[in-house]
Amino acid sequence: MTGERVTDVPVVSLAGVDKDFALPGGATMTALTGIDLDLRRGEFVSLIGPSGCGKSTLLRLIGDLTQPSAGVVTVNGKPAPQARLDRDYGMVFQAPVLFDWRTVEENVRLPLELTGQERTARDARVAEMLELVELPDFARHYPYQLSGGMQQRVAIARALTFSPAILLMDEPFGALDEMTRERMNSEVLRIWEQTGITVVFVTHSIPEAVFLSSRVVVMSARPGRITRIVEVDLPRPRGVETRESRRYFEMVTQVREALRSGEGSGTSDDSLASIERAEAEGLTG
Amino acid sequence: MKRAFAILRHNAPAIIVLVGGIALWEAVIRGLAIRAFILPAPSSIARALGENWTTGYQILPAAQATLQEAGGGLIAGALLGLAVAFAVARYPSARDIVLPVGIAVNAIPIVAFAPLANQWFGSQSVYSKMAISAALVFFPIMINVLRGLTSVNASSLELMRSYAGSEMAVLTKVRIPNALPFFLTGLKIGTTLSLIGAVVGEYFGGLNVALGRVVVESASTLSFEVTWAAIAVVSAVGIVMYLAVLAAERVLIPWHPSVRGERVA
């Protein structure tokens, strides 16, 4: 996979995608409308926008965790549901979603248990993943014994165990403090460079989006749509110097202005966020 | 050695209160010359216990019989509770039927059925006592396990979906581990209930060598020291059963906050 970085073959493609949510009382709410987006293999793409612009919904559409009302979602050249069944992507949520009853290595092993992989190959892969996120010394710890940043690293290791083509990350560092977040950003870039994976990264932090991405997809709310795509031409590898460079500040300003111009009425729409939550909880039943 | 000392220090306040309470009890009985049929002194209860341990009222074999009934009832009630909880969790439509009926049945004072259970299973049979125990244990286990199986984090289910995990994988890797602490909580409640069921069942007849019989018969002959001795042994059996569940918790759910919090620092 590393050989063909950033080719023209889209690894994720959304064409004419709409997403409506049914509201209680028979009304519908348009969460996303007219989404056309192609992601190139090996790209690092951020989705940014005000709360309620549907950026998480867009990510969940790619992952087949929710289905489009209109349009086509293609992942790895297949319909999104097939890509999910083929385990073509790994998902990292805002909360680490580790199982309390499993140690770190058992959590990372979980996806491999679902495929019934042979034990020694499995254990080797888990060790390799813990090496990748630099947590091999914590293999036998329980999640409660780790800091928030470490828990999220375990979640990343778990998402990567299948060597998926795509990594979907939904505001993964939103709950972390600024220092930890910056460290995690560098960590994610290192892993991205090491594995050649395509990353789709939802965030509401402009600096985070600029620092990480090849492209930043700027969205606006009510209804959610893509207003601009900003190419980030900062040189790689990126590090502390990047955050202090003039070009970086220019890019941050550019994204901020793109966000502001897309704001329209100037208010964000929190009701969509609550519907997304309700929909996710609907899976419990 | 160091660890034993730490445990001792941790439990010292409880031990002091227990020993002090018994000493005070002894002193009050002697000081005020309270008659044994009101409240016997701890020393005379201990003497009665020693005299009737294997002879006379045979408290040791009686305790073994009661433990067997309560234990059997606990296991049967737990299995039944687990079975119903899994079925109801699997078929949500069953929940609307089973839960209201379950709650209504739970409102019935089940011990009132003890004489009937003796009719159904035979008053000399251990099964009549086990049946009462099982009926008492069933409900808390069923409700707790059901809650554990269904109160699963929505993101955990999404995670399993993103891995294309089957229903079976969700059950074995998410729902069952999630329900385990709930089951153990139900089991802790169940230990006490199972003993109540066994002893009350024995009140209405049954094996001559059983703690409930010792209580009834010693009280009817005004041997209240023996009655108290039997009650003390029932309590001890209950505590041992409870401690057994606690020990199981430490092995089965070392990650759970309730277990973590209990560790001596």
Residue A267 is predicted with a pLDDT of: 45
Residue B120 CB neighbours (<10 A): 12
Residues 6+ away with beta carbon under 8 Å from B179: B85, B145, B147, B148, B149
Q: Does A97 sit within 8 Å of B159, measured CB to CB? A: yes
Residue for token digits 């402009």? A206
Range A71-82 average pLDDT: 95
High-pLDDT (> 90) share of chain A, %: 73
Of A84, A100, A110, the CB nearest to B164: A84
Residue A264 is predicted with a pLDDT of: 55
> Taking a C-beta distance cutoff of 8 angstroms, is the pair B143, B117 a contact?
no
B195-234 CB burial, b ≥16 within 10 A, e <16: bbbbbbbbebbbbebbbbbbbbebeeeebbbbbbbbebbb
Return phi, psi of residue B256, to 5°.
-75, 140
Phi-psi region of B222 (alpha: psi -120 to 50; beta: other; left: phi over 0): left
Residue A82 is predicted with a pLDDT of: 96
Among A57, A89, A101, A152, the strongest candidate for a mutation testing the B interface, having the largest count of B CBs within 10 A, is A101
Of B158, B166, B260, the CB nearest to A283: B158
Secondary structure (3-state) at A263: coil
Q: Which two tokens stand for residue B12?
A: 């010292």
Under the banding of pLDDT at 50, 70 and 90, the label for residue B7 is confident
Among B158, B161, B183, B253, the strongest candidate for a mutation testing the A interface, having the largest count of A CBs within 10 A, is B158
Residues 6+ away with beta carbon under 8 Å from A141: A103, A104
- Nearest in space to B137 (alpha carbons), one of B203, B235, B212, B70: B70
**Which tens digits make up the pLDDT trace of B102-114?**
888 888 888 888 8
Under the banding of pLDDT at 50, 70 and 90, the label for residue A285 is very low
What chain A residue is nearest to B155 in terms of C-alpha separation? A97
Q: Which two tokens stand for residue B67?
A: 């433990």
Residues 6+ away with beta carbon under 8 Å from A15: A36, A71, A72, A74
What is the average pLDDT value for chain A, to the nearest integer?
89
Please tell me if residue A262 touches chain B, with a CB cutoff of 8 Å: no
* SS3 of chain A: helix, strand, coil, percent, to 5: 40, 25, 35
Residue B194 is predicted with a pLDDT of: 96
- Residues from B contacting A (CB-CB < 8 Å) are 92, 150, 152-159, 161-166, 169, 173-174, 177-178, 180, 253-257, 260
> Taking a C-beta distance cutoff of 8 angstroms, is the pair A221, A47 a contact?
no
**pTM for the complete prediction?**
0.85
The answer, yes or no, to whether residue A4 has pLDDT greater than 60, is: no
Lowest mean pLDDT among A137-151, B85-99, B164-178, B236-250: B85-99
Contacts of B253 in chain A (CB under 8 A): 101
Residue A274 is predicted with a pLDDT of: 62
Q: Which two tokens stand for residue A192?
A: 């991205």
Q: Does B256 sit within 8 Å of A91, measured CB to CB? A: no
Domain B54-260 fold is MetI-like fold (1.10.3720)
Of A63, A144, A280, the CB nearest to B154: A280
Alpha carbon separation from B197 to A255, A256, B74, B203 (Å, rounded): 71, 70, 10, 10
What is the average pLDDT value for chain B, to the nearest integer?
91
What is the C-alpha separation between B53 and B60, in angstroms, rounded? 5
Please tell me if residue A142 touches chain B, with a CB cutoff of 8 Å: yes
Residue B263 is predicted with a pLDDT of: 47
Alpha helices in B91-175 (DSSP H): 92-106, 114-121, 126-150, 154-162, 167-170
Judge residue A233's burial from the number of C-beta atoms within 10 Å of its C-beta, 0-12 exposed, 13-18 middle, 19 or more buried. Answer: exposed
Contacts of B152 in chain A (CB under 8 A): 284
Range B238-245 average pLDDT: 94
Range A175-192 average pLDDT: 90
Under the banding of pLDDT at 50, 70 and 90, the label for residue A275 is low
Q: N- to C-terminal Cα distance for chain A?
A: 39
Under the banding of pLDDT at 50, 70 and 90, the label for residue B123 is confident
Q: Radius of gyration of chain A from Cα atoms?
A: 19
Q: Give B11→chain A minimum CA distance, Å.
A: 26
B14-47 CB burial, b ≥16 within 10 A, e <16: eeeeeeeeeeebeeebeeeeeebeeebbbebbbe
Q: Give B113→chain A minimum CA distance, Å.
A: 37
What chain B residue is nearest to A87 in terms of C-alpha separation? B163
Please tell me if residue A166 touches chain B, with a CB cutoff of 8 Å: no
Domain residue spans of chain B: 54-260
Please tell me if residue A273 touches chain B, with a CB cutoff of 8 Å: no
Contacts of A156 in chain B (CB under 8 A): none
